[in-house]
Structure 1
Amino acid sequence: MKERPHGAPAIRRPTKSDFTASLSEGWGNFVANPVPDLIFASFFVIAGLVMSWITYATGHTFWLILAVMGFPLVGTLGAVGFYELSRRKTEGGETGFGAVFSEVWSQRGGQLPWLSAIIIVTFMFWFFLGHMIFALFLGLAPMTNVSSSLEVFLTTEGLSMLAFGSAVGAVFATFVFAISVLGMPMLLDRDVDFITAMLKSIGAVTAAFVPYIIWGIVIAVITLAAMVPAFLGLFVAMPVLGHATWHLYKRVTSGGH
């Protein structure tokens, strides 16, 4: 594991060109060397398919809605591999899957797992709360399978549940986004504790709330849209967004490349 700079970096306010350039660089990284990206992305696709199979096999497909809506929350965990790929491509390092995975794995005893644990706990709490919201609004509805009872969502109770659940989910998503959009790449890039990384990330998002929230919405929309064709769109969406997030982090912490 290479020696990393100590302490959190200074973070400037992002500009519109930072976001557009980061997306462009993310796409460029993907098309330049797609093989390791596709390998990392396959974990997302497989996870989505397994998640779908479990919910259908157990007859509790309403869980799939919660899982799909919460999927972007945990996307930042798997994106660490894309961050490391981007770093190595920028610095001219080895970009094979084995080398990248080895570097990511070497972080297991550092600060990354702590931030990852917070994200996972938040995701699980969203599952619990989402189930409570479902029971609150639709607990008495004659439905056991969402795929065969979609009309229940068009009732007053169903629409109220979707509206309230979406609002609650947005709060969870905003929290995870705020602590991870710069916090996760910072932990990979710098020798800094996870509390500092979280606070610096939250501070940066708070200081430029509108630009970052728009960026977060773009990420969420692209991610959710990529799930529609049997999660296969994640093969492209996750690498591009992962690389773009790294490049955005580097731009706002070092003034560009």
Structure 2
Amino acid sequence: MNDSTAIIESRRFTTHAVSISRPLDWLVAGCRDFLCCPGPGLLHGAAVALFGALLCWSVPDQFWLLNGAFTGFLLVAPVVATGLYEISRALERGHTVDLMTAVRAWKPRDHRMVVFGLLLALAGTGWVMTSAALIWVCSPAKVATPEDFLRLVVLAEHGWLFEGWLALGGLMAAPVFASSVVSIPLLLDRDISVLGAVLTSWRVVMENPAPLALWGVAIAGFTLFGMATGLLGMLVVVPLLGHASWHAYRDLVGTA
């Protein structure tokens, strides 16, 4: 599909402007869906927590690599929550939901979800490698633990390492966030190409820069909380944000 065709395809969908407080409504709706069907959400959160624990176990003294891996999770999180989108969609339609509702969303009906997932994984891998290289090369000593990262990078008296790390992370994350904020739910819910979904996502962001900037901060904040609790918080954070992201999509995208 060429670019002009994808643009025409994207224009089939209207985008809605929302107030800056709408992310709070998405979180409330996400919490309601989670409480309606907690089992699948807890399993999604447990899977993420287990993956994080295995990652820490595999490289326990290499936080210069782990900090990029954990923050890179934000880039691929929209794919992880696919099953939760399906549950919220079923609840919206008044259907009975269970674990199999989420499992069915992972059955490959076409290549679109796979392609988009691979693109997000590529972006996440790029950030992990970039972050690790920056910390490894520019840190005055080896960053082996979270305490080292705090002392040598965040609270360093001289240099620009932490500011540069944040700026580079933001520079790489912003276009990925803009490309994915509604893309996976849209691909799940409608017949649209990957490029068409990405263009629609960009239209949504351009129409709602302030609410979606706040939404991005909320996602980062909740994820940081989940990591700061020894990953146990991910049991709740993952389903909450997953279900809320579905409601963000439904609020922001309509049909022509």
The TM-score range, normalised by the shorter chain, is 0.7 to 0.9
Structure 2, gaps ≥5 residues long: 1-8
Mapping for residues 108-119 of structure 1, pairs under 5 Å: 109-119=110-120
SS in 1 for 2:128: helix
**Moved beyond 4 Å, runs of 4+:** none
Contact 1:39/1:97 (8 A) holds in 2: no
Instruction: Tell me the distance in 1 between the aligned counterparts of 2:148 and 2:206.
Output: 41
Match status 1:26 vs 2:30: yes
Contact 1:137/1:160 (8 A) holds in 2: no
Could you list the per-position Cα deviations for residues 23-55 of structure 1 after superposition, in whole angstroms to 9, with x for gaps in the alignment?
Answer: 111111111220111112221111111111112
When normalised by structure 2's length, the TM-score is 0.87
Alignment partner, residue 127 of structure 2: 126
Alignment partner, residue 97 of structure 1: 99
Alignment partner, residue 142 of structure 2: 143
Contact 2:204/2:252 (8 A) holds in 1: no
Q: What letter matches 2:243 in structure 1?
A: H
User: Which residue of 79, 82, 90 corresponds with 1:80?
Assistant: 82
Measured after TM superposition, the shift of residue 156 of structure 1 is 4.5
Contact 2:84/2:239 (8 A) holds in 1: yes
Q: What letter matches 1:122 in structure 2?
A: A
Instruction: Tell me the distance in 2 between the aligned counterparts of 1:190 and 1:144.
Output: 45
Q: Relative to structure 1, is the Cα distance of residues 206 and 94 closer, same or farther in structure 2, using a 3 angstrom cutoff? A: same
Alignment partner, residue 170 of structure 2: 170
Q: Relative to structure 1, is the Cα distance of residues 136 and 156 closer, same or farther in structure 2, using a 3 angstrom cutoff? A: farther
Alignment partner, residue 15 of structure 2: 11
Contact 2:84/2:242 (8 A) holds in 1: yes
Could you list the per-position Cα deviations for residues 89-110 of structure 1 after superposition, in whole angstroms to 9, with x for gaps in the alignment?
Answer: 1112242112321232234x33
Instruction: Tell me the distance in 2 between the aligned counterparts of 1:110 and 1:83.
Output: 18
Q: Percent identity?
A: 25
Q: Relative to structure 1, is the Cα distance of residues 142 and 25 closer, same or farther in structure 2, using a 3 angstrom cutoff? A: closer
Q: CA RMSD in A?
A: 2.1
SS in 1 for 2:95: coil
User: Which residue of 65, 77, 83 corresponds with 1:63?
Assistant: 65
Instruction: Tell me the distance in 1 between the aligned counterparts of 2:63 and 2:223.
Output: 20
Contact 2:49/2:232 (8 A) holds in 1: yes
Q: Relative to structure 1, is the Cα distance of residues 132 and 103 closer, same or farther in structure 2, using a 3 angstrom cutoff? A: closer
When normalised by structure 1's length, the TM-score is 0.87
Alignment partner, residue 5 of structure 2: none
Contact 2:45/2:234 (8 A) holds in 1: yes
